[in-house]
Amino acid sequence: MNEIIKKASLTHELSKHEITELLKDQQYNKELFEAADRIRQKYVGDKIHLRALIEFSNICRQNCFYCGIRAANKNIERYRLSSEEIILLANNAVKSGYKTVVLQSAEDTYYTADMLAGIIQNIKKNDVAITLSIGERSYEEYKILKEAGADRFLLRIETTDKELYKKLHPNMDFENRIRCLRDLKKLGYETGTGCLVGLPGQTIDSLANDILFFKKLDADMIGLGPLIPHKETPLKDIKADGFWLSLKVLAITRLLMPNINMPATTAMETIQPQGRILALQAGANVVMPNVTDELHKNKYEIYPGKKSLNYTKLEEQFKKIGRTIA
Ligand code: 5AD
């Protein structure tokens, strides 16, 4: 196991077999996490990048089996922020010092590309990077958004296991999701993807494929985390035990993709006390504080207990582990 970790640290390449060996092993987790932490430090440094997350609509046309804001969930109050509200939240984030805002929503086609382009142009009057996380759209729409000034895009593949993908995403098409990711790359977006860990029927083999997919896509950002069951979804009875495995997927991804940006995701800190710190010490270098207004952020319940912590003490927390805010 130490040989595999060493090889990954030096060459940033592993075979699928080596990745599955690492994922299966239970004895060398500490070595794996420490190696990922060293590679993170060597390639992207000790600074933690903050991204201001704005969740602007929870109205969704999709029905992903794991997600609390899926269309079929009737026990949820739906909301949409207006262009003005979104711009105000973004401008406030810029005033607080954020250099990136992430505009995230459910798959809500109420927001046309032209409407979003207007919002983007407005926010771009500030010196700030814009990341979009709004789901699947056409090449033409992604192009309009890019030309309006969007810099980055997050679209998780969720799982590269095609059969599993099909089961969990009714009326969605794996090939279209791949098409989206290719289009985003082609258009010059810094492109992020990622996966869920702990899906029913997901194997170690398929997680290894996920990691190899990230590398093959040459993703610029990877976000991943454990599945947290939501009671209003078909996966309500699934065990939420994916934390350590997702930490390992994170660490291996860092070893193989030393330069990318990886958040300590909210799911990781929701499911495990200290989850955020553990992720930051196993390869992660980004944190995404939620700056959505209090009235709406609790309604963006993709999973229960979603943490929206008080972020005022972040700097102190980071200092304790030898890190600073970028
Ligand atoms: N538990 C954990 N993560 C989830 N996501 C959606 N539903 C859940 C859940 N129940 C993740 C998906 C999506 C991201 C925004 O949140 O991976 O891409």
Question: Residue 48: its pLDDT value, please?
Answer: 98
Confidence (pLDDT) at 261: 98
Give me 300's structure tokens. Answer: 């963006």
Compute φ and ψ for 265, nearest 5 degrees: -80, 160
- Tell me if 65 CB under 6 Å of ligand 1: no
**Ligand 1 atom nearest to 235, measured from its CA:** 10
Percent of the chain with pLDDT over 90: 96
Which residue among 67, 224, 270 is best mutated to probe the pocket of ligand 1, counting the most ligand atoms within 8 A of its Cβ? 67
Q: What is the pLDDT of residue 308?
A: 67
> Are 167 and 130 contacting, i.e. CB atoms less than 8 angstroms apart?
no
Q: Would you state the pLDDT for residue 12?
A: 98
Neighbours of 294 (CB within 10 A): 7
| 141 ligand 1 Cβ < 6 A | no
- pLDDT tens digits for range 221-261: 999 999 999 999 999 999 999 999 999 999 999 999 999 99
Distance CA 286, CA 289 (A): 10
Which stretches of the chain drop beneath a pLDDT of 70? 308-312
Any ligand 1 atom below 6 A from CB of 196: yes
The encoded tokens of residue 28 equal 């060398």
Ligand 1 atom having least distance to the Cα of 104: 15
Give pLDDT, residue 305.
87
Q: Is the CB of 268 under 6 A from ligand 1?
A: no
Q: How far is the CA of 116 from the centre of ligand 1 (A)?
A: 23
Query: What is the per-residue burial (b if ≥16 Cβ within 10 Å, else e) of 162-201?
Result: eebbeebbeebebeebeebbebbbebebbbbbbbbbbbbe
- Closest by alpha carbon to 242, among 199, 304, 275? 199
Count structural domains, the chain.
1
Residue (of 42, 23, 47, 35) closest to 195 by Cα position: 23
Report whether residue 264 contacts ligand 1, using a CB cutoff of 6 Å: no
36 lines ligand 1 (CB under 6 A): no
Q: How far is the CA of 302 from the centre of ligand 1 (A)?
A: 6
Beta bridge partners of 129: 100
Closest-CA residue, ligand 1 atom 18, reads: 156
User: Which atom number of ligand 1 is nearest to the Cα of residue 230?
Assistant: 10
48 close to ligand 1 (CB < 6 Angstrom): no
Q: Which of 233, 234, 289 is nearest to 263 (CA)?
A: 289
- 293 lies in which domain range? 2-325
Neighbours of 82 (CB within 10 A): 10
pLDDT at 309: 59
Q: What is the pLDDT of residue 56?
A: 98
Distance from the alpha carbon of residue 6 to the mean position of ligand 1, in angstroms: 32
230 Cβ inside 6 Å of ligand 1: yes
pTM of the complete model: 0.97
Say which CATH number the domain at 279 has.
Answer: 3.20.20.70
Strand order in the sheet with 100-105: 52-57, 100-105, 129-133, 152-154, 190-193, 221-222
Q: Does residue 263 line the site of ligand 1, with CB under 6 A?
A: no
